[in-house]
Amino acid sequence: MGWTFKVHGGVVAGLGATLLALATLTWLPGSLPLTGARRLTAAIFALLFLIFVSALVRLILTGADKRAIWLAFRCLPGKVQLSLGALALWEVVLVIFSTATEGNLQSAEVRDGRYVALDTTPYARGTVMISQSRYQDVLERDLRTMLAIPGVLSLGAAYAVLAAGELRRADGAVVPSDVR
């Protein structure tokens, strides 16, 4: 596998692990300083979009089917497989616990000195006033979701890049049948 695949996969996997760690930290008591950082979230999504698209392009250029991609992933070193598998498991647990504790409130903000949030309960959609503690909970839940989604996408991109690199390596190692 070429060094560009290793660097690309490593950076994307590291970014995914960092985002999942930050999403996990939203469960700690107290408020996080990142809850008001909407520009940071937009920058994460923009950067991840470029990384994810380039990973998919690298995978598409190999021309392999799903089975070959899975077999290429299985040819990666065990530590890499274990790391990506552990991060994927962490992501599944994070999403399950996040959705299990999630309420119907989202997009909390302060309007005229009052805390409001969008209530997404069926047949009762609208803006409702909430307490300051509930406001902090909604902000942290929104932040958890906004960090977990890019984390999941970056793990998928790491899988795609590393599998594409392994496919490229395997294709380069094959000797054509007409050369003897």
For 35, 77, 132, 137, 157, the CA distances from 165, given in Å and listed in that order, are 37, 13, 49, 42, 12
Q: Which two tokens stand for residue 146?
A: 């906004």
> What pLDDT shows up at residue 25?
83
Q: Distance (Å, rounded) from C-alpha 168 to C-alpha 61?
A: 10
> What pLDDT shows up at residue 102?
61
**Quick check: is 112 in a domain?**
no
> What pLDDT shows up at residue 82?
92
**Quick check: is 123 in a domain?**
no
Q: Distance (Å, rounded) from C-alpha 79 to C-alpha 84?
A: 9
Specify whether the CB–CB gap between 19 and 150 falls below 8 A. yes
61-75, 92-106, 153-167: which has the minimum mean pLDDT? 92-106
| Span 45-59, pLDDT tens digits | 788 888 888 888 888
Cβ neighbours of 24 (radius 10 Å): 18
- Given the structure tokens 């790491």, which residue do they identify? 158
> What pLDDT shows up at residue 36?
56
Q: How many domains does the chain have?
A: 1
Q: Distance (Å, rounded) from C-alpha 34 to C-alpha 23?
A: 11
In this model, does residue 179 exceed pLDDT 70?
A: no
2-16, 44-58, 161-175: which has the minimum mean pLDDT? 161-175
Specify whether the CB–CB gap between 28 and 22 falls below 8 A. no
Residue 37's pLDDT band (cuts 50, 70, 90): low
**Quick check: is 128 in a domain?**
no
- Given the structure tokens 């509930």, which residue do they identify? 134
- Given the structure tokens 């005229």, which residue do they identify? 112
Residue 176's pLDDT band (cuts 50, 70, 90): low
**Quick check: is 113 in a domain?**
no
Structural domain harbouring 33:
3-103+142-173
**Quick check: is 111 in a domain?**
no
Beta pairing class for 105-111 and 126-129: unpaired
For residues 18-43, give the mean pLDDT. 73
**Quick check: is 179 in a domain?**
no
Q: What proportion of the chain, given as a percentage, has pLDDT over 70?
A: 86
> What pLDDT shows up at residue 119?
78
**Quick check: is 66 in a domain?**
yes
The burial class, CB within 10 Å (0-12 / 13-18 / 19+), for 6 is middle
Q: What DSSP letter does each residue of 16-76 carry, written as one string?
A: HHHHHHHHHHTTSSS--GGGG-HHHHHHHHHHHHHHHHHHHHHHHHHT--HHHHHHHHHTS
For the full predicted model, state whether its pTM sits above 0.85: no
> What pLDDT shows up at residue 173?
64
The burial class, CB within 10 Å (0-12 / 13-18 / 19+), for 180 is exposed
> What pLDDT shows up at residue 31?
61
Residue type, 52: F
In this model, does residue 108 exceed pLDDT 80?
A: no
**Quick check: is 28 in a domain?**
yes
In this model, does residue 35 exceed pLDDT 60?
A: no
